Structure 1
Amino acid sequence: MINRKRILPTAVAITAVVAGSATAYAGYDAGLFSQPQSTYEAAVKTSGNYYYLAAASSSYNSLAYALGDTSNWVWPWGSSNPTSAQVDTYLSGRGYTTTTTASEVKIISYGTSSSIGHFGKPSDVNYVNAKWGQLERLQSLNWDPYNTSSYGAKVKTYK
């Protein structure tokens, strides 16, 4: 059976993303988010710069999602965050190389050169999609949406 309560809010959220809206509040009204709004606001530089794409899940994380896997938690560095050089090595082994050409980018790393803690993948040259830890999969406007106290700045892009 179709859950009509979720269709309209999801359509509103998708429309907001496509139209470039600067708010994600429709998702809150629909009960789509798993945490208080303050949790999401604390992660981004610009208030409301996160749009609901998929439900919260502990089955997979940002790296897994960036690699195209929504069934497994992928973090080959154990309980530590890797350096950017370690990420380069890992992704190279999976066929990725660094790039600065926007149209080629498939994966974006976030954090600092000494501590990468998050990954995303562009949906185009203006948006990045990412799985926020055990939270929802979200979309943000621009490829560098996170503040330094959360996921941090964009470090490298990979093709």
Structure 2
Amino acid sequence: IIMVSEAYAFHEPNLKSRPQDFGEIVRARFRIGGLLSAGDYLQAQRCRQWSKREFAEALRKVDFFVTPTMTQPAPAFEGYDPNTTLMGRSFTAPFNVTGLPAISVPCGFTEAGLPVGMQIAGKPFDEPGVIQAAYTYQQHARWYEQRPAI
């Protein structure tokens, strides 16, 4: 709600005067923001603030969150539909909405040889710590050096 509301507010003049400058999917998603009310936006901001407080509380006990980056491996390009495939596939949203620094690094492959990512997220403004944690992991795991058989 926050992203599409803000995107629509920013891009509204161009969406109306030059819609062809936007891809079909981006144009459709941004226009959703024009259908939302100020109340929707404010409620989403309240939820965002609640989420930030909850994550801040959890980060008093741990240095980082480590999660999969995606809910499942990448889909095959053939038959790929971004209108349905992108929705709900990522564990990045909580860190996007709270503004916490996060990075994704390779952490292996599926049985089919598709890459799998691990996300490391940290405390507010601790980008150096997140990058150092990712670097340390990469130096030990060395997944970035491996390539699946094709």
TM-score interval w.r.t. the shorter chain?
under 0.3
Q: Which has the higher helix share?
A: 2
Q: Which has the higher strand share?
A: 1
Q: Mark the structure with the bigger radius of gyration.
A: 2
TM-score normalized by structure 1?
0.24
TM-score normalized by structure 2?
0.26
Structure number with greater CO (CA < 8 Å, separation at least 6) is 1
